[in-house]
Amino acid sequence: MRAMRRVRRPTIVPDNRGYMIAGYIVAAALYGGYALWLWYRARKS
Amino acid sequence: MLAAMLLLPAVFIRALAFTPAEATQGEAQKIFYIHAPSAWVAFLAFGVVGICSVLYLVLKEPRLDRLAASSAEVGVIFTTAVLVTGPIWGRAIWGAWWTWDARLTSTLFLWFIYFGYQVLRSAVHEPGQRARFSAVLGILGALLVPFIHISVNLFRTLHPKPVVLKPEGPTLPGGMLATLLFAFVAFTIIYAAMLWQRYSRATLDDARDAARAEADDRA
């Protein structure tokens, strides 16, 4: 009788690095842009 | 302000280089470390708007109106970040940029309310009237915040339930939780710095407008 063996399947991790990079670029642009705008307005006034 | 803004790359480096990727979602899950703290700060900012608006209606103190207006503007920036990073993460994990579920839709409505708040302030020129109208709108918008937080429990939504702010405690692994808490603190400090900068400018703008009005009266 063949022994039952539990086969551990490897976890397939999706390749979605591009989305991660896009998210971080957008956040950096938004926060950095707003901070620059505040700094520019403070200098102007 | 500059010192506070240096915390942003610090959060990015910690999240991207020193925090493990989630086993099933992959690296897109790391958007979590900017998405969730942005949402927290947006709620905090609109909470400040609500409190300052109530106090303004009672005390009629112009500084409270300025603080509410400043916090609302910063809050719109953070909500915009939530509404942009969320769909990028959603596209990677759900396969859809957007879904009209309760959490996403109510957050979009929150953004509309406070965008409208900015439009209202620029449309009304009489300072007392502008402060009164915007205080009422600011309070109504802030009432949406607790509803958005519990919306994932009230409705069947695609959006995940909270992993930190829940009765049985956080369920994140240690490394991920440390990064998230660091991001929460860093984003809160960035909010405080932006708020202070914006409030200082509003104070100068109001003083300039008052001087102009006085000069016009004399002429």
Band (B164; pLDDT cuts 50, 70, 90) = confident
B53-73 residue pLDDT tens: 999 999 999 999 999 999 999
B66-120 residue pLDDT tens: 999 999 999 999 999 999 999 999 999 999 999 999 999 999 999 999 999 999 9
How do the residues of chain B divide into helix, strand and coil, expressed in percent and rounded to 5?
A: 80, 0, 20
Predicted TM-score (pTM) of this structure: 0.92
- Using a CB-CB cut-off of 8 Å, the residues of chain A touching B38 are 27
- Bridge partners of B22? B26
Distances from the Cα of B23 to the Cαs of A10, A21, A24, B49, B174, in angstroms?
Answer: 11, 18, 20, 39, 15
From the CB of residue B4, how many other CB atoms can be counted at a distance below 10 Å? 19
Q: Which among A20, A32, A38 has CB closest to B27?
A: A20
Q: What is chain B's mean pLDDT, rounded? A: 94
Check: CB of residue B34 under 8 Å from CB of residue B183: yes
Q: Which among B1, B28, B85 has CB closest to A27?
A: B85
- Residues B208, B86: Cα–Cα separation, whole Å: 40
> What number is the average pLDDT over the span A9-36?
91
Name the least confident of B43-57, B161-175, B205-219: B161-175
